[in-house]
Amino acid sequence: MGRDSAVLDPSREFAYTLADFERVRSMIHRHAGIALADSKRDLVYSRLARRLRALDIETFRRYLDQLEQAPESDEWEHFTNALTTNLTSFFREAHHFDILRDQLRSLPPGKRILIWCCAASTGEEPYSIAMTACEAFGRLDPPVSILATDIATDVLDTAQRGVYAMERVESLSKERLKKFFLRGGGSNEGQVKVVDALKRLVTFRQLNLLEPHWGLKGPFSALFCRNIMIYFDKPTQAEILQRFVPLIADGGHLYMGHSETLSNPPGNIQSIGRTTYRKRSVVRS
């Protein structure tokens, strides 16, 4: 028996080999662009073991065979949901929201401002954008529409509900809590709910950044693409970045995650510091 086909830990509930891990790695890379490190071997087991249990399948090999043989199956959604990392928080990397507030205030009045948050996870990021927009315009109905997308459908369901455990909002100011959240009572004790006015500013939609067509027109005055590029390999990052450029409005901003500094930004994208980039306005003669 080859090393790759040896069962890694016979005490486990489901047979799982190194070859299975390599297969998962290549499947999620092809499907979602996610490059899983060697260190994720055990994590992959625990995340997918739940699916094998739910489907009553005894080995990873059989589970992966079934998945590969059914490219249209709903199981791909569960597979993807299980393997994505959805860590996020309200006003994460807070400096971006200060920059956004100033940016929104400086835009000429008139047109509705479009913002795309392309890895929205459980919603904390798009709702932080929405709160910033309300604060920038001093009203609960600012002229802003936020498109919040993610590949994972389970996190989008949470985002759409807008219900969070109290601990998730503990770091927010009293003023924000009061203005933007409703406190749950009775069986909802310990939870808060985003107010409807904030929800109205955000549209949630499933979107895989690897899809060849996103079906988006833009142009977006701000594009939040934070803490997702790190999961992609360099060619995938470069390709997605190139596809962002025409969707960003002239003078619009691209917000990246703290460890996602662009070493080689496309020609008309320039750094304005703190992992924030600006698309140069085209001077028309």
Binding site for ligand SAM (CB under 6 A): 32-34, 84-88, 92, 119, 121, 125, 150-152, 155, 208-210, 226-228, 231, 257
Minimum distance between the CB of residue 84 and ligand SAM, rounded to whole angstroms? 3
- Of the pair 172, 228, the CB lying nearest ligand SAM is at 228
Q: How far apart are alpha carbons 52 and 236 in whole angstroms?
A: 30
Answer yes or no: 74 catalytic. no
Q: In the bound complex, which residue of the shown chain has the CB atom lying closest to ligand SAM?
A: 88
Distances (CA, A) of 169 to 113, 119, 147: 26, 20, 22
Closest separation in Å from C-beta 224 to ligand SAM? 7
Write the burial class of residue 283 (CB in 10 Å: 0-12 exposed, 13-18 middle, 19+ buried): exposed
Given a contact cutoff of 8 angstroms between Cβ atoms, the answer to whether 76 and 61 are in contact is no
Residue 108, number of CB atoms within 10 A of its CB? 5
For ligand SAM, the closer CB: 151 or 254: 151
Q: How many angstroms separate the CA atoms of 227 and 259, rounded?
A: 8
Q: Are 150 and 121 within 8 A, CB to CB?
A: yes
* 168 catalytic residue (yes or no): no
Rounded least distance, CB 130 to ligand SAM, Å:
14
| Alpha carbon distance 272, 251 (integer Å) | 11
List the catalytic residue out of 47, 61, 168, 176.
47
Which of residues 147 and 228 has its CB atom nearest to ligand SAM in the complex?
228
Q: Which residue among the candidates 51, 150, 226, 278 is catalytic per the annotation?
A: 150
Please identify, using beta-carbon distances, which residue of 107 and 230 lies nearer to ligand SAM. Answer: 230
Residue 35's region, left for phi above 0, alpha for psi from -120 to 50, else beta, is: beta
How many whole angstroms separate alpha carbon 72 and alpha carbon 89?
33
- Specify the residue, 83 or 136, whose C-beta has the smaller distance to ligand SAM: 83
Tell me how far, at minimum, the Cβ of 139 lies from ligand SAM, in Å: 26
Preceding amide of 71 cis, omega within 30 = no
Q: Residue 186 Cβ, how far from ligand SAM at the closest point, in Å? A: 31
Write out the catalytic residue numbers. Answer: 47, 150
